[in-house]
Structure 1
Amino acid sequence: MRAVLVSSPGDIDALEVVDHPAPEAGEGEVLVDVRAAGVNRADLLQRQGLYDPPPGATPVPGLECSGVVSALGPGVEGVAVGDEAVCLLSGGGYAEQVAVPVGQLAPVPAGVDLVEAAGLMEVAATVWSNVFMTARLSEGETLLVHGGGSGIGTMAIQVAKARGARVVVTVGSPEKAAFCRQLGADLTIDYKEQDYVEVLKGEKIRPDVILDIIGGKYLPGNVAALATGGRLVVIGMQGGAKGELNLGQLLTKRASVTATSLRARPLEEKAEIVAGVVEHVWPLVEAGTVRPIIDRTVPLADVREAHRVLEESSHTGKVLLTL
């Protein structure tokens, strides 16, 4: 089969489309013929040699895909050959076929195109597991999302608004700000022109939950901005791995800081997250309240272009590879 591999860690030239052995469905797995795969920042880190696959995972990048079930491994129930599905992966999405644990498989929401569906699972699973399962965002609370124009950001805006929260986002351009407001964001802050902590202070807004992809650089500001009882969830380190943590502020506010990753979680946890997405997010998608935000689709052969777009942060929503 055709698949993307990293010849050696480095820039986009390290990505190569090669002939690679096709996977087989093992115990509790299904084989999926991939129609499209989401491109995520974790893939860029893997290409650079900074985020290796978990032990036993394929070296082929790609943390999510959509496709058609083509074979069932031993012990699989509730799935049939020919089913259309979206998949949460530990790797392997940048290929014509991928083997997926059945618990990480979900039906394509009604009314969603199979290709566009490839942009749903990773962001929905990230938002559901972090904003709702971990941080317990409730109706009437305020959510601050850094990177509102990203795939995660656009999903977080929609789901949080649908569940009755107020949403504030940071963005990098007026165009992204306008788009986020169309999705339902109550306040947008241009981080290139404004200090988000000062803007929040001026608006008298104290976020109950902050979803942060920046990491160390934003740690002091995030803690300063949190409401009493606030919950900061860090899911990325685009701004570095180290930052100053003011424990006095954290204690005074009775606040918490949690750092999570999705890829390396045990199969049972991933299955629980996927089940939560299907129960709570898919009905919103099927009702049209939440939709996949697709910036562009790129053929698998042009995978380097897809990575270039993500590195430039010129996209809004998801970039997908099509097969």
Structure 2
Amino acid sequence: MKAIVITSPGGPEVLQLQEVEDPQVGDDEVLIRVHATALNRADTLQRKGSYPPPKGASPYPGLECSGTVLSVGKNVSRWNIGDQVCALLCGGGYAEKVAVPVGQVLPVPPAISLTHAATFPEVACTVWSTIFIMSRLSQGETLLIHGGSSGIGTFAIQMAKYRGSRVFVTAGTEEKLAFCKTIGADVGINYKTQDFVARVKEETGGQGVDVILDCMGASYYQRNLDSLNFDGRLFIIGFQGGTTAQVDLRPLLAKRLTVQAAGLRNRSLENKAVIVNEVEKNVWPAIAEGKVKPVVYKSFPLSEAAEAHRLMESSQHIGKILLVP
């Protein structure tokens, strides 16, 4: 098969389309012919050498895909050859075929194209596990999403509105903020021209928000604590603003705050299967109802993976970027 190989750690130019061996399918795995895969920020980190795949995972980038089942392991009963599916991956999406643990395979959501189904597994599992399972965002609470126009951001806006929350977002352009409002964001904050702490306090009568989903890390840590309401929850899923910060811890105690962080890729197969099952039960109905829709900015052929990475790192996009083998 053909796959995108990272020839050495570096810039987008190190992504090369090459002939490689087909993946081996285990007893508890499904082999998928990839129809589409979506980029995630983690793919750019893997390309640079700072986010290696877990032991035993595919060496090729790509954390989600959609496609058609080619074969199934002997312990697999739910899926059959020819089924259209999408899947959460540990790696290997930038290829024509990928072997996936059966617990990470999902049906294509009703009324969604096979191509657009590739936009959902990683963001749905990330958003559901962080905002709803671990941070327990509930109806009537307020959520602040940093990077509201990203793939995760655009999905989180729609899902939080579906569940009855008031949604705040930050983004770096008025165009991105305007788009976020079209899909449900209540308050848009331009982080380049506005103090998001002051704006959050102004919009909440001085209280702050209940949950924050943060991709920045160190550079926003203190301001995030200052933006939370009593019993607020901060969930960190990225470190675009660095990993080391000096902070005043007093708000943690004074406001009974909770700070959590997690990724998906290095979780156990059992834990991922639990999340995927929860997503199918709780998120897929929202997609079926048309309340959560795919947001696709641009699609590239697999051979142009480097160009797709350049677009992602420019941060000009809104929503997801796809590769189609």
TM superposition score normalised by structure 2: 0.98
Deviation at 1:247, TM superposition (A): 1.9
Q: Which residue of 1 aligns with 2:316?
A: 314
Q: Which residue of 2 aligns with 1:274?
A: 276
Q: Does 1:240 align with 2:242?
A: yes
Q: Following the alignment from structure 1 to structure 2, what is the Cα–Cα distance between the partners of residues 93 and 137?
A: 31
SS of the residue 1:33 aligns to: strand
Deviation at 1:50, TM superposition (A): 0.7
Deviation at 1:25, TM superposition (A): 1.2
Q: Which residue of 1 aligns with 2:298?
A: 296
SS of the residue 2:90 aligns to: coil
SS of the residue 1:228 aligns to: strand
Q: Which residue of 2 aligns with 1:103?
A: 103
Deviation at 1:314, TM superposition (A): 0.5
Unaligned runs of 5+ in 1: none
Q: Which residue of 1 aligns with 2:10?
A: 10
Deviation at 1:202, TM superposition (A): 2.3
Deviations for 1:235-271, whole angstroms, at most 9, x for unmatched residues?
0000001123322110111011001010000001100
How many pairs align? 323
Q: Following the alignment from structure 2 to structure 1, what is the Cα–Cα distance between the partners of residues 119 and 192?
A: 27
Cα contact 1:218–1:243 (8 A) shared by 2: no
Q: Following the alignment from structure 1 to structure 2, what is the Cα–Cα distance between the partners of residues 43 and 120?
A: 16
Cα contact 1:295–1:317 (8 A) shared by 2: yes
What is the one-letter code of the residue matched to 2:2? Answer: R
What is the one-letter code of the residue matched to 2:95? Answer: A
Deviation at 1:225, TM superposition (A): 0.7
Deviation at 1:201, TM superposition (A): 2.0
What is the one-letter code of the residue matched to 1:223? Answer: L
Q: Which residue of 2 aligns with 1:217?
A: 219
Deviation at 1:198, TM superposition (A): 1.5
- Aligned residues: CA RMSD: 0.7
Cα contact 1:208–1:228 (8 A) shared by 2: yes
Cα contact 1:150–1:318 (8 A) shared by 2: yes
SS of the residue 1:8 aligns to: coil
Deviation at 1:86, TM superposition (A): 0.6
What is the one-letter code of the residue matched to 2:227? Answer: A
What is the one-letter code of the residue matched to 1:78? Answer: R
Equivalent residue runs for 1:248-287 within 5 Å: 248-287=250-289
What is the one-letter code of the residue matched to 1:103? Answer: G
Q: Which residue of 2 aligns with 1:57?
A: 57
Cα contact 1:223–1:246 (8 A) shared by 2: no
Q: Which residue of 1 aligns with 2:75?
A: 75
Q: Following the alignment from structure 2 to structure 1, what is the Cα–Cα distance between the partners of residues 121 and 246?
A: 33
What is the one-letter code of the residue matched to 2:270? Answer: E
Deviation at 1:42, TM superposition (A): 0.1
Q: Which residue of 1 aligns with 2:198?
A: 198
Cα contact 1:61–1:91 (8 A) shared by 2: yes
What is the one-letter code of the residue matched to 1:110? Answer: P
What percent identity do the matched residue pairs reach?
51
Equivalent residue runs for 1:20-59 within 5 Å: 20-59=20-59
Deviation at 1:74, TM superposition (A): 2.0
SS of the residue 1:227 aligns to: strand
What is the one-letter code of the residue matched to 2:273? Answer: A
SS of the residue 2:312 aligns to: helix
What is the one-letter code of the residue matched to 1:43? Answer: D
What is the one-letter code of the residue matched to 1:281? Answer: V
Q: Following the alignment from structure 2 to structure 1, what is the Cα–Cα distance between the partners of residues 202 and 118?
A: 39
